[in-house]
Structure 1
Amino acid sequence: MPLTDLTLAECLALRPDLDEPADLDAFWDLTLREAREAGGTPRFTPVDTGLSLVTTYDVSVPGFAGEDVRGWLHLPAGADGPLGCVVEFLGYGRGRGLPHEQTLWANAGYAHFIMDTRGQGWSTAGGDTPDTATSSGEVPGFLTRGAENPRDLYYRRLFTDAARFAEAAREHPAVDPDRVVVTGHSQGGGLSLAAAALVPGLAGVMPDVPFLCDIRRGALIAGAPPYTEIAEYLSLHRDRVDTVFTALSYVDAAVLAPRATAPSLFSIAMMDAVCPPSTCFAAYHRYGGPKDLRVYEFNGHEGGGGHHRREQLAWVRELFSASRA
């Protein structure tokens, strides 16, 4: 697993100048306003998981265009609210899975919202949220769905889902709205950055080896999917390079990152062929709020694994304790 991108010293010195659409804020203000005006109310249905120390609810939240987005809510059984909350977004190809599978944050004493990923979730990582939009001309995968018009982008829909899910978490009676953190690995890391940029007042964000950052560079240098989907698409549509990258700039988490102001804990892996470290550092350096960083020099896309979960647990505990003081 060799070093295939910039060195750590070069990444630490990196200050990329990314193209930002002139109407970026208006684009997202309109998108989120349309989603809220579509109406709908979050629903929470108790689920018997067989676990005695965690109480779980099947969640449905109105996301993009008011469409139902599924998820899970885990609460420590018998806990007195309101609780600090961790909202988690999932990696590429992952759905919410089974209700008993991910209970770390509830076992740590927090409310834990897990958002399903529309249209994703194959193999054992089952998903229950369809992507109802139709598009044509894309290569297999999600990055090039609607890639020639920002309003048609798959990730416009998914970023909207993430923002609405974070808003629903803050409104839940078991949750302290002033102590909500968003997090995720890879695609989930990009979604957490987007949510932090689009939802004011979050307590923190933990992007873990984030995808969807400096997308153009990712398409140029990544040695493994999903960024390679863009290269494949443009190898077929040679005349659409500027059109595609202009559209994708609306959903580039590194472009959105300066708008996020919540405290953050990033993780970046220096031998990551999926999300090259220079792309992750682009988001880190452009991030608009207080930021901390853990670098895993000899890891690939798995990043820090259990070691980084330990770092996150300590970081969230300190963050939430400080907010109570």
Structure 2
Amino acid sequence: MPLFDLSRGELERYLPERREPADFGDFWRRTLAEARSVDRAVETLPYAAHLPLVDALDVSFAGFGGQRVHGWWVRPAGVAPVGGWPVVVQFLGYGDGRGTPLDWLVWPAAGFAVLVMDTRGQGARARRAGSTGDDGGSASPHVEGFLTKGISSPDDYYYRRVFTDSVLAVDVARSLPGADRERVAVQGTSQGGAIALAAAALADGVAAALVNVPFLCHVERAIEITESRPYAELLEFARTRKTEVSRAFETLAYFDGMTLAAHGTAPALFSVALMDDICPPSTVYAAYNHYAGPKEIEVYTYNKHEGGGEHHDLRQIQWLQEQFAVVGNE
């Protein structure tokens, strides 16, 4: 895919109008208050990773609707430093599952503890298996996948449950053994980037955000310029359920990263790929340019949805070590 979106200069100035619902704040305050009224009931079990330099725990907690959400807590082995290990809460790409602790060794090797949150209902097709089901939502028809699941109502929408889980995961991460409650970052790529952006906007105690080629941003534009999945799911929904399209976009306004970005205040590092036809660059810039906190963006001119790949992995490590004053393995 060659360059197909706005020019670099246009992207840097791109600031489309947000369609934030009048009750956006009330909706999320109500949602999170209901979720937090249920005991988190955090459970941890030792996991034999057979890796002498890391400790791993199999974690679960009561997420949206009290449903068990699974994850991994992986940290450098041994006694935590004074104040605890800085924390990364890791969110996953579309269809991915939490896998095993062997998939999540980079952050512990860089001097951080990581909480990997399984995404409810996902992890059945991708390389890594998931462990969390999804019992909530409307029984109304939707296109196979997750983007249109429950889209007729904000209360029923799939990402209401996922974004709430992410906020509760940040709460849980700050309570886990060896965690530094004051140095908590959120991180994700694609769908994970959308979830990280939501957590940065909605969760308490987020000190930094790493938002890579995020999905679910400026969705109305996305489906006008790409037919790639997952956005193709929404296109298929719009083609077959024409009378429900307006209501669907009203729902999406509560979850669009462009809306949420205006409520994020933690320092953030974004990334964008200018040949990305899955999360088009103008949709990423729409969120980035509305982001309310200190921010930087890494631009990968000749890359598609892989973004900066391993190069950006290293950039994130360096950036977060600087933000949290981490030197090596503390």
**Do these two structures clear the TM 0.5 threshold for a shared fold by scoring above it?**
yes
Pairwise CA distance, 1:99: 2.2
CA distance in 2: counterparts of 1:186 and 1:248, whole angstroms: 17
CA contact (8 A) 2:175 2:181 kept: yes
The SS at the match of 1:177 is strand
CA contact (8 A) 1:36 1:66 kept: no
Structure 2 match to 1:178: 182
Alignment RMSD, CA only? Answer: 1.3
AA of the residue aligned to 1:127: G
The SS at the match of 2:101 is coil
Q: What pairs with 1:173-322 in structure 2 (closer than 5 Å)? A: 173-321=177-325
The SS at the match of 1:259 is coil
Structure 2 match to 1:128: 131
AA of the residue aligned to 2:70: R
What's the TM-score once normalised by structure 2's chain length? 0.95
1:6 aligns with 2:10: no
CA distance in 1: counterparts of 2:141 and 2:131, whole angstroms: 25
- Identity between Structure 1 and Structure 2 (%): 46
CA distance in 2: counterparts of 1:137 and 1:311, whole angstroms: 42
Q: How many residues align?
A: 323
Select the residue among 159, 167, 172 that pairs with 1:168. Answer: 172
CA distance in 1: counterparts of 2:101 and 2:296, whole angstroms: 31
CA distance in 2: counterparts of 1:220 and 1:63, whole angstroms: 34
Deviations 1:115-159 (A, max 9, x none): 001000023310000011252210111010011100000000000
What's the TM-score once normalised by structure 1's chain length? 0.97
Task: Point out 4+ residue stretches in structure 1 off by more than 6 angstroms.
Answer: none
Pairwise CA distance, 1:265: 0.3
Structure 2 match to 1:40: 40
CA contact (8 A) 2:154 2:160 kept: yes
CA distance in 2: counterparts of 1:190 and 1:235, whole angstroms: 25
Deviations 1:199-240 (A, max 9, x none): 133110000000111111112212310011111001001112
Pairwise CA distance, 1:250: 0.8
Unaligned stretches of 5+ residues in structure 2: none
1:76 aligns with 2:80: no
More moved, 153-162 vs 76-85: 76-85
CA distance in 2: counterparts of 1:2 and 1:122, whole angstroms: 32
CA contact (8 A) 1:234 1:240 kept: yes
Deviations 1:171-222 (A, max 9, x none): 2231111100000000000000100100133110000000111111112212
AA of the residue aligned to 1:310: L
AA of the residue aligned to 1:85: V
CA contact (8 A) 1:201 1:262 kept: no
AA of the residue aligned to 1:227: Y
